[in-house]
Structure 1
Amino acid sequence: MYMQIKQEKGHYTLYKESEAIGTAVVDGAAILRLEIVPAWRGRGYGSYLVKELLRRGGGLDPKQATRFTAPLPRDEAGRALARRFDFVAEGGRLVRRRVPDLSAVELCHEFLELHVTPGGLYLDATCGNGNDTLFLCRLAGQNGRVLAMDIQQKAVDRTNKRLTDAGYEKVGRAVLYDHAKLGKLVQPGKVDCVLFNFGWLPGAEHTVHSTAQGSLSALCAALDALRPGGVLGAVLYSGKVIGDAEKQAALAFFRSLPLTKYTVLVCEFANWADTAPLPCFVIKK
């Protein structure tokens, strides 16, 4: 049967066909009132309405931090509905908090923010759509420089457009280049940070992706390019399409680095799947 929710300012009405069967009043992230017509209770329409309110307020987005409130329920059905959507009693009302999941890329960015000083030279060895390049430009600041590279022209074009749109065209630029040969673009021991986000270009064909052979050459060249105290960050991937050859080869490479020259961190998400992205860091001594 056809259902829809009509909204007028903070008032929501749930319709089944042409009949109004539920209403809600919302102020920002505060659900002030929610009612289902008695004849329609116990059929899932309350859950439908709550879920839609949360969705419209970003409460179902795993990447967004949200906090919703609602009045304490008056009956067991209301309490069951609250539990279903993770509302808990707090200070005389219901509260639902959503803390965003920490992704491998976000962890990599947070680590680099703590260990890299603005004003240096940074390399994005796999620029993709430009997310990491833009992050490095912000990290570098107006006195720093960022060089990005990719083997796909569409990635280079998207990255350069993104930098221009954000006002960082004088800080960073992307070039069409194989990261396995990045040592030819920079002098040894002059780079403050090199960032790798292996795998494929988001939104493009998955058949084009980095490989173990090319990535190992790129990692070796990146370590040569780093200055003492410089940091290499890499996010490794595996899965049905690309397998795990690159991931395992990179891990073996990292673990073989001598402690006298490098500090190596492999940051595993212990309660994620084995195919989850794996952030790794190398600090050159």
Structure 2
Amino acid sequence: MSGESPTAGPAAETADPEDDAESSVLAALARIDVEGDRAALWAGGVSLTVVAAGLAVRIGHNTPFDPLAVPAVVFDALAVGTPLVLGAALFAVALTTTDPTRRVGLLFAGVFGPLATVSSAATLPAVAGVIGGGALALVGSLERPTTYREGRRAAVVAGFVVAVAVSLSRAVGLLDAGMTVGAGLALVATAALALLVRIDRVAALAGLAAAGTVVGAAVTAPYLTGSALLVGFGVVGVPQLLVALALGGGVAAAVAGLRDGAPLLAVGALLIVLAGVPAALPRAMAVVLGVALVTRATGDREEVVA
């Protein structure tokens, strides 16, 4: 006797090369998805840091009482660096997505968006690229809703796309009116982010605290609050209660994402909140990037649930 295991031969005979190949392909695709999400998270995190820094500098420098002294070079660096960072982030997220429609749309927004920093003559192409690319990436990649959950997700995404289109078109003079409409749509869509995730007690309390902070500030220091909302978030012509609802919904969605193990969702929601009204190219690019991250995270989780 040679001492061979009696099960060695049958096991080798029953091994199917096609099954092994299929398993290897699935494992490779899983690694690509994980690495893509990691790259998208890094891109979103860097963008969030830059957007938050710009927000803090603008609000601090324009405080009516004892404003923060900020060198002009800082504003110049933010004015040039923010669109470039957001463009690079959109480009990176585009390369990590498997949906060809979304990839093309994000590439358009990422490539054309920063053009206005090179020359003011490129403002219209940049606006067209962000509006068209964002619409293609966010709406063009959506499938026809078949459930109420999918319908809510499509409605929220469409609200952001219309808000970006109306706000940017008004800002560059393509529309005579629409600043208030665009701001209102952006804030309503931001508040509705909470409908896309499972909100637990901690997330709900965080959202209520954020909304209550805005309401309390508006009551106790209305002039200071209005100045901060205008300079920091580009909010004009809309009730501050709507701003409070938007902040509450966005913060609740971000906290829910962190608690549910979806950091892409948290980063995307915070990007949308801190970007404010998308009436300028950097704000619009940040909103498009944030919505892309949110829909990517919620779409993945819907597939897991399904």
Q: Normalized against structure 1, the TM-score is what?
A: 0.25
Q: Who wins on radius of gyration, i.e. which is larger?
A: 1
